[in-house]
């Protein structure tokens, strides 16, 4: 067999080998892509199972606060509503037709919970917070994924002052299961069992009402290292030495600097509008370059 004949025989073999390799590589890429898609779909499915509706106490007319929460963390909730004394154009609003005052805070919370009770088939958990609170919604879902929405419970940061058993900070935000919402509204509000009169300390009234209808208040929301998740002040307050238990108010004494706050922290209160954007930038946008990390100087 001469060289030209050998080339003729080898050419189809080479083509076949190359074709097989191409099919194999494309198949591997497809499998990898499909695996990634399935993994992403699985994660998305898991996340959707923790459906959170966010309700914000909002002072009518404070557009800077409203815009800041809408353009940062609020869009990550599954649904939301402002609670105010008048409608906010372009946003779902639960209207409490009263003059704006701290004395109607408890009335606003009642309106929130009544609305939440109509949404129990659509959402599992209901977060009450303020329009100057910043929430890391993904961490809230992570925390709630370890609990059942059929349990009569609400979670937050516990203050151990003022009333027996303490109460959960409204500014840091508290999150109620759909079962807790139903019990409070139908057994507490509708029957007259709970005090519905105006009161500026909504947290007291809610704690008392929850206790009467068998809803458990849970302020033990620290992580396994004793660091907090729901914070009644901004990061600078909790990072500063001397504020570990907020002058004896907090149930749990936290550390300071990096020991105050969990890496799965959920909320910070008293956040100005510009600080909302700054937090969103640091949490979701800023990324250190891994290619230029000095391995010898990465102590944490």
Q: pLDDT digit string (tens) for 28-74?
A: 333 333 344 334 434 554 445 899 999 999 999 899 999 999 999 99
pTM of the predicted structure, to 2 decimals: 0.80
On whether the CB atoms of residues 129 and 109 are closer than 8 A, the answer is no
Q: Of 187-201, 203-217, 235-249, which range is least confident?
A: 235-249
Q: Of 12-21, 42-51, 145-154, 186-195, which range is least confident?
A: 12-21
Give the confidence band of 167 by pLDDT, cuts at 50, 70, 90.
confident
Determine the pLDDT at residue 137.
Answer: 97
Residue 4 confidence (pLDDT) above 90: no
Going by C-alpha positions, the residue among 167, 263, 268 that lies closest to residue 223 is 263
- When pLDDT is averaged across residues 103-128 and rounded to a whole number, the result is 97
Determine the pLDDT at residue 281.
Answer: 96
- Can you tell me the distance from the alpha carbon of 219 to that of 231, in angstroms, rounded to the nearest whole number? 11
- Can you tell me the distance from the alpha carbon of 128 to that of 172, in angstroms, rounded to the nearest whole number? 9
DSSP state of 281: I
DSSP state of 194: S
On whether the CB atoms of residues 92 and 58 are closer than 8 A, the answer is no
Determine the pLDDT at residue 234.
Answer: 85
Strand-pair category, 52-57 with 79-84: parallel
179-191: pLDDT as tens digits: 999 999 999 999 9
Q: Of 2-6, 13-17, 107-111, 277-281, which range is least confident?
A: 13-17
């Amino acid at each position: 067999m001469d060289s030209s004949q050998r080339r003729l025989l080898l050419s189809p073999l080479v083509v076949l080998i190359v074709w097989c390799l191409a099919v194999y590589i494309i198949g591997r890429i497809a499998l990898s892509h499909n695996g990634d898609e399935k993994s992403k779909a699985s994660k998305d499915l898991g996340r959707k199972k923790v459906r959170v509706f966010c309700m914000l106490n909002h002072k009518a007319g404070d557009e800077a606060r409203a815009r800041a929460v809408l353009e940062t963390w609020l869009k990550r909730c599954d649904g939301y509503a402002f609670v105010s004394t008048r409608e906010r154009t372009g946003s779902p609003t639960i209207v409490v037709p009263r003059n704006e005052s701290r004395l109607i805070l408890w009335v606003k919370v009642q309106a929130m919970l009544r609305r939440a009770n109509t949404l129990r088939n659509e959402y599992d958990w209901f977060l009450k917070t303020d329009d100057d609170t910043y929430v890391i919604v993904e961490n809230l879902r992570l925390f709630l994924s370890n609990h059942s929405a059929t349990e009569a419970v609400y979670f937050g940061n516990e203050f151990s002052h003022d009333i027996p058993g303490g109460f959960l900070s409204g500014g840091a935000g508290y999150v109620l299961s759909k079962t807790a919402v139903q019990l409070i509204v139908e057994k507490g509000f509708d029957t007259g069992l709970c005090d519905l009169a105006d009161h500026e300390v909504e947290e007291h009234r809610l704690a008392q009402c929850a206790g009467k209808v068998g809803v458990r208040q849970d302020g033990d929301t620290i992580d396994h290292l004793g660091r907090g998740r729901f914070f009644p002040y901004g990061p600078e307050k909790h990072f500063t030495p001397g504020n570990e238990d907020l002058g004896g108010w907090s149930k749990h004494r936290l550390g300071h600097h990096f020991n105050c706050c969990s890496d799965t922290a959920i909320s910070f209160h008293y956040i100005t509008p510009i600080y909302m954007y700054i937090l969103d930038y640091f949490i979701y946008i800023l990324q250190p370059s891994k290619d230029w990390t000095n391995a010898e100087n990465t102590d944490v």
